[in-house]
Amino acid sequence: MQMAELMVSDGWKDVGYEYLCIDDCWMAPQRDSEDRLQADPQRFPGGIRHLANYVHSKGLKLGIYADVGNKTCAGFPGSFGHYDLDAQTFADWGVDLLKFDGCYCDSIKHLENGYKYMSLALNRTGRSIVYSCEWPFYLWPFHKPNYTTIRQYCNHWRNFVDVSDSWESIKSILDWTSFHQEKIVDVAGPGGWNDPDMLVIGNFGLSWDQQVTQMALWAIMAAPLLMSNDLRQISPQAKDLLQNKDVIAINQDPLGKQGYRLRKEDNIEVWERPLSNLAWAVAVRNLQEIGGPHFYTITIVSLGRGVACNPSCFITQLLPVKRELGFYEWTSSFKTQINPTGTVLLRLEATRMLQKN
């Protein structure tokens, strides 16, 4: 309830953060006499319906957690054999998002059928509930997931291990995503998104440059922006980064195309993402972890599949600080400076669109 209050009073809601999500361990150890899930009476003395009403009174939405198998990952009651009942329970409580995990499922068949069934069960309630799946993550050890099918049933889906508050974790997620990008990028779009897991900006494990890198690359990847942090003690610098309207606009761009890694060379990665109105977002990431800032020169024609700056474009640096860098010709080059483990995020706008506007 304190987080809901802060989401409103500290401007989070105003920039678009609207879901307040409870993860595992919210449940009582057993279902009630009618086989329904129930909240832990100590942690949630008023129950989930009471909490949902409070969250809704702030103009926000409530997310909750359950599991496709026999138990949740922490050992609380799973939804296997209770999909319809649990979906209706969540709808009755006023839940707006369900994160559906995949622990304690005894077969791939049960896992896949369970994810599909819960999707249909949620729809049958008549309540609009965002469906967040971990389906592909649990399939990858056995076979390549069918993302076309997953997209039919889920609104976003986790592919890789849980994020933690460490640079090693962020690097591993980015490495996994770029290695598998040919399999996952094209399936993302309005209604269904790859979820690289939560933002850990505002915690303790990342340096400032590393926090900039997570924010920039999550925007490029069209990732759901869900924060895992304590809004009661977040630093002003981290708050400004998470509330950066220019970066959020890239993340939420209505064209809905996920970005990708364009190339990797000399300890530098270049990522790009097509945006609406023929604009592009470009992220230049420094992979080095020691030494000083790295200078990197980009040929303009190599960006945006050769069309981003044809015949010219206006470039604005958004991160780590906002600066208008000016007009660049298609045939010119661009030099930037990136701190170790840091990222420079750019927005390229075609001059032909600027003239129309």
Active-site positions read 101, 162
Residues 220, 177: Cα–Cα separation, whole Å? 12
The C-alpha torsion from 197 through 239 and 235 to 20, rounded to 10°, is: -50
Q: Using the 8-state DSSP alphabet, how is residue 39 labeled?
A: B
Contacts 24+ apart (CB under 8 A), 266-274: 266/296, 267/294, 268/294, 268/296, 268/338, 269/178, 270/298, 270/303, 271/217, 271/220, 272/220, 272/303, 272/304, 272/308, 273/219, 273/220, 273/221, 273/222, 274/304
In contact, 267 and 301? CB cutoff 8 Å: no
- Residue 110 gets the label, from left (phi > 0), alpha (psi -120 to 50) or beta, of alpha
In contact, 132 and 100? CB cutoff 8 Å: yes
CB neighbours (10 Å) of residue 151?
A: 19
Q: Is 269 exposed, middle or buried (0-12, 13-18, 19+ CB in 10 A)?
A: buried
* Overall size of the chain counted in residues: 357
**CA 66 from centroid of its chain's CA atoms:** 19
At residue 254, φ and ψ (nearest 5 deg) are: -65, -20
Q: What is the 3-state secondary structure (H, E, C) of 285-348?
A: EECCCCCCCEEEEEEHHHCHHHCCCCCEEEEEEEECCCEEEEEEECCCEEEEEECCCCEEEEEE
Closest CA to 305 of 329, 334, 335, 330: 330
Residues 319, 212: Cα–Cα separation, whole Å? 7
